[in-house]
Every structure is written in structure tokens, then in C-alpha cells.
Chain A
Amino acid sequence: MTMQTALQEALFRCNKCGSCTATCPLYEQTKQEGMAARGKLALVEAALEGNLPVTPALRDRLSDCLLCGACKVSCPSAVPTTAIFEAARAEVAEKLGLPLWQKAFLFALDSPSLLGVATRTGGLVQQTGLLSFAPPIARCPYRSRRLPNLTGEQAKATVAFFVGCLMNTVYADVAEATHRVLVHNGYRVETPAVGCCGMPNRGMGDREGARRLARQNIDALARYETVVTDCATCGSALKEYGALLADDPAYAERAKGLAGRVYDIAEFLVRFGYEPPAGELPVRVTYHESCHLGREQKVKAQPRQLLRSIPGLDFVEMSGADACCGGGGSFAFTHPELGRQVGAAKGESIEATGAPIVATGCPGCSVQLRNLLRHQGSTAVVRHPVQLLATSYGRMATIPSGSIIS
């Protein structure tokens, strides 16, 4: 293993104090060293020193991580744990190659037509009742929906809406809500032809793929002053393009520039103002803070502020709202048992609020939360804050009638 000097230096700052074990959701469940950051850093260190060969066993150990970033935030020596793990995964992938399922997955994400076929097929299969672990795929993707929009003259500004893969295909209703809320607030919404944000590639160790997608997206978004997304993961990825392309002379500056123009939808609305919602929504709602939104983008107060501004909405903070739900991108698929164990506490916190709706700004978390709630027999449903706002605006019905407080 080699790894760039800056990361090696950072890795060396780990004093093995163990404070990462206090915040690691996986360590909490397993009490095993290999699950916490300190352990994985020790393995990377051993590989760098030539004391540990790069084998599938090391790849598996490196995959024992949600990339939730809790350790990074709590580390007294400020070791950039997740960046080191991503770099290590990339090196291991380079040496061993990606497993076939990861290759296929990334290939599908990279090809809109293939992704379309895959989700349409998945949707048909779901109608038969199979694939129930996956959230229902939208009958019609967001990009195929005909939605009202403003002309350049009518609008106070034009924004580029970065529509993520999951948002377009699975959570098309969320994307529609985002679209309608932006239009309601006087913006013209344009949806440039962007690709995947590259986060799945980064997680799986396909750094080159992530960089290629980043360049593609930077080009696609070049002419927009403002980019809005409703996906916590995409937002996080876009804002990190600067680091991803720091050593690419042609793109480094543009990547950094883009980061300053990207907003999560809640961040955007609160920052530039939004019409106060007037429609009564007498429903209790709690909020799950996704790692990609709260920890990575520091967007914490804004989604809560949106929810609280809805008349009649009874906002209840759950305990441990910022704790990882155990989804971790594809982690819940590769480590279903562990993912569920981590999520169990989250499920209980949601239940304890008595809220029939849990709001969250991340599609990955939404999949996990839905499965957790179903697993524990809860009838609570998952919604994006922007959906509730759209409903209060009278633009879209998004909540089950049974959840209204009578």
C-alpha cells in the first residue's frame, strides 16, 4: 500500500487513544477493535509498513464501516478517518479489483438508460410482491413528470436542481416536492443532465470513477450560479469535489468553486428565505439527522426550522437524532444483520416520540428507516421535510390521512 503523503501524515497522528470507540455505532454493537476507526487505521498502517498483505480479508475489514464520520468528529487528534478509509478502499480495489456486484452496480448508476431499465424491471418485480426489502420504485421517474415551471422572466432566479439517481427513480415524489416548493417560491427549476454524484464510487473504492463523474457534473453545472439538491448524499459529494479533484489542475479551481454554489434544499430555503407555509398540518413529526447532511454538511438547524414553520405541525425531537441509522449507503445490504442492530436504537427512538412521520433529508437513510420501522412492526412512515412543506403549501399530498391529529 502507498497512499498520498498528506493522508499518511494524518494517519500517523492517531495515538490509539480509543476515543473513536466511544462514538462508533459498529463498535458499540460488537465491541470489536476492527469495527472502530482506531483498528482500521492500525490495519492500514500495517499495510503501509508492509506488515499486512493486501488481500480480500483486508478488503472485508475495511468494509466494516458505515462511513458515518462520527469518529472523525470526535477524534482529539483530528485524524480524517473517513478520507483515509476511502483512500485505503481505493488502493485495495485497485490491487484486487472490485467485486462483480459492485462493478455492475456502479456501471448501472453510470448509465441513465441502464438505470432506467433496471428500475423499471425492479418496479415490475415489486408489483409481484418480491423485493419487499427495497422501497417502492416510483411508477414514473421525476424526470419524466410534467410539472409546472416558471419562465426566466417570471422567476426571481433560476436554480439548477441536481436530481440524484435515487431521487429520480425511487423517491421521485420527493424530487417533485422539491421542484414544486422551488417554483412556489418563485424560482425557475432547470434539471441539467448530470450523472451520479460519485459517492457510491468513493465508498466502494472506485476513486477514478468518482473523479470522472465529478468532472462531468462540474461541466454540466458550469453555467448555474446556484445548485440545489434534496439528497443529503449528493449534496455532500458535490461539496467535496474540491478535495476529490485537488490534484487535477484543469478542474481543481472549478471543483472548489462549485462547492460554494451547492445547497441542500433546506439550507437554500432558510438562507435565501421562503414563503411561510400557511396550510395547517396537524401531525406529529420527528426528524432523523442524516450523517451526510448533519455531520458532513453541517446542515442541522435548517430542516428542523422548515418543519417547525409549518402551522399545526407538532415537532418532537427524538433522542439521538444525529446517531447513524445503520444504513451507510450499501452497508445495510452487505451487512444486513449489523445494519439492523445499529438501527434498532434509532427505530426505538422514533417509536418513543409517538410520531407517525419521521422526516429525513437522505434517500439512503429513508430506505433504512423504512426497513427498520417495518421490521419492528411500526406504521410510521418516512418523509422528506420538503414534502411536508409542499403539502402545507397545498402543492402536493404527501402524508397518510391516518397520521393527522384529530
Chain B
Amino acid sequence: MNEAYKTAISRFLMIAVISSVVILAVKFMRFYSLKYADRVASNYLDNITGGYIALDEYYGFVSAVGNLGFSVQLSVDRYDGTYYDHYDITDIDSVAVLRNGLQYFILKDRDFVTVTLVKKGVTIRESRTMHGSGVLK
């Protein structure tokens, strides 16, 4: 095997190893950002107490997860004993009430609150059910 051939193989292997390390690092980061965003969503829902969703807090959460590249959708499913309602929190005008200049979405007992995170075809949902105590479980 002549020297030029050896050098070419050596360079090819080196480039292959370096590029694969870079690709893997990017994949790892994507996976762990997914898990991190999921944890942020879980913490956000855990911190909703008092029976309402404060929209300024919600948009703070949207911003935090948006920085990780995820789009967020928050929705509430409600059953009043006769039919189901589905509220999309982005439709602020129809769902929010004003209190002290801030907007709130008032939750009711047994409301099913869902946070949906979407990024490049990946969808993860986190949900909690409102209990009479005003705490999501």
C-alpha cells in the first residue's frame, strides 16, 4: 500500500469519526432538550393551584419552552354531565376573565388540562385533572 493511499484512508477515517461525533452530539442535545421541555411542562402544571390558569404565567412558560424550539398548546377538556367542551387557551378573548388587570382562565372541578409540546413531528402531551381542592393532580 503506498503512502498516498494510506494518507487518504487515514483522512477519511478521521473525518468520519469527527463528523459522527458532531452528529451524535446534536442528536443527544435534541433528545435531552425534549426531556427537559417535558419536565418544564410537568413543573408548570404542578405549580397551577387555586383553580385557575394565569395567562401571564402561561406565556412565561410558552416562552421558556419556545427557547428550546417547542411550540406549546394548552387546552382544557370539560364535561358538565351532558356534553364535552374543549377550550383552546390561545383563544383568549372567549376563555379568559379579567381580574386586577390580569387574565385568568377559571378551572372547574374535574377539568382535564393538557399541555401539548410539538417540535419537528414529535408530539408529547402532559396532563393533569383538577380536583375540588383547586389542585391539579
The answer to whether A and B interact is no
B interface residues with partner A (beta carbon < 8 Å): none
A interface residues with partner B (beta carbon < 8 Å): none
